[in-house]
Amino acid sequence: MNFGFIIKYNKKGGKRPGQPGLIRHLPDGSVYRIKSNALYGLALGTFEENGETYGYASFSGKGTYIEPGWPDPIGNYEFIAYIEDRNEPGSGADRIWIRVKDKDGLPVEVMSMAEPAQGNAIDIAGGNIVAPHARVR
């Protein structure tokens, strides 16, 4: 699975969309993709585990989705993502969780992970996730 996103709030409090995207490659060569075209919200926070403080973020939106056999992407698919920034590469594995729902609100199984997000997020194998975090008091 490949993913990418940049989401920030500007100084006036408005979101600066980064068009999050997720591509899932299966061993048989099949490719599934969702690309955001609307973001709803961004939530940031921190948590402490084993004496370390980490940052997390959750964001959601709508996008276009395409899977093998479809001639064109279909819009109005919703997604929610949860990420954990577990410090710099080499000192902790960052984590991601995602759920994609079709126009009827049903999960797209090949693009969705089991709930709850925090308990089912998976370590990323490469790259770095950055989310603000400060020491929990």
Domain ranges in the chain are 2-123
Residues pairing with 87 in the sheet: none
- Cβ pair 124, 95 in contact under 8 A: yes
How far separated are the first and last CA of the chain, in Å rounded? 35
Question: pLDDT at residue 17 above 60?
Answer: no
Cis peptide before 20 (omega within 30 of 0): no
pLDDT tens digits for 43-96? 889 988 888 888 999 999 999 999 999 999 999 999 999 999 987 666 778 999
Joined tokens for residue 87: 């410090």
Q: Per the structure block, which two tokens stand in for 121? A: 């997020």
Pick the more confident residue, 125 or 64: 64
Confidence (pLDDT) at 4: 82
pLDDT tens-digit series, residues 23-57: 999 999 999 999 998 888 788 899 888 888 889 99
